Amino acid sequence: MKRRDFLVSSAVGAVGAGASRLGGVAAADDSLVDVRLQQTRRKILIAGGGYGTAFIRYAAQLTGKPRPKMLYLPTASADSQQGIITWYQNCAPLNVEPSHQVSFIASTRQDKSWEEVLLNVDAIICSGGNTLNQQVIWQAHGIDKILRQAWDRGIVLGGASAGSLCWFDEGTTDSRPKELSVVKCLGFIKGSHSPHYDAEPGRRPLYQKLIASGQMQPGYACDNDAGIYFEDNTVKRVVHTRAAAKCYHVTVEGGKAVEHILEPERIS
């Protein structure tokens, strides 16, 4: 759904269950696809929290397109209407073509397959929310496999909170009752992740405890407003939109968790 159409439907109280008007997926010879995939850089831009206009602008630049198609996937937020509105507001200053795709759908209103929607854009940005629910829904629909295809094709992926955690092997989540716990995710980026590292008091000590004990793989922690751009599994750039916000590579040394600060560059 384009921004213009979305605002009209919001006025009558309905966001709608469909995606934006996206064209069909072009067919290609399998051998040509294989060669193209070998040459494609796989890109993910995450943030610990706060994926606003600056991060969306950077993700758009990573597509290499003059006016990229940027799709918002709010599964983790249960397709929050406010989150979708905020997405379009954050995209408004940018030269991008924003759209969104909800996950709570009905076949009578959704006339395109997940492949047609998700593989016909230049970037997919995932919302924050409940990571465990997000993963279960994606697996039930096969969206997890299609996102892997998108990554392999060079479609830029990203997000903050659940939208950053989802790309790793595992990480810490508040998706379950009572306390923070471990969630297993897509495994595109090897290792673990902790979002909200400076914003939620329980995150840092639990992450360090799990890594030090061997219960969780070493990995990357991001403060709110700070993030990491990965190509494949390599850190290519560390960025932030707030002076105090940092990222960390957390490893084990001598049986203890050790934080290695990844100094970020400011983006705006």
Q: Which residues are catalytic?
A: 161, 196
| E strand segments, 165-232 | 168-173, 181-184, 189-194, 219-222, 226-231
Question: Are the C-beta atoms of residues 242 and 225 closer than 8 Å to each other?
Answer: yes
Largest Cα span, the chain: 61
Question: Are the C-beta atoms of residues 235 and 260 closer than 8 Å to each other?
Answer: no
C-alpha count within 13 angstroms, C-beta hemisphere, residue 124? 31
Distance CA 222, CA 47 (A): 6
> What are the phi and psi torsion angles at 217 (to 5°)?
-65, 150
Q: What share of the chain is helix, strand, coil (3-state, %, to 5)?
A: 30, 25, 40
Question: Are the C-beta atoms of residues 75 and 135 closer than 8 Å to each other?
Answer: no
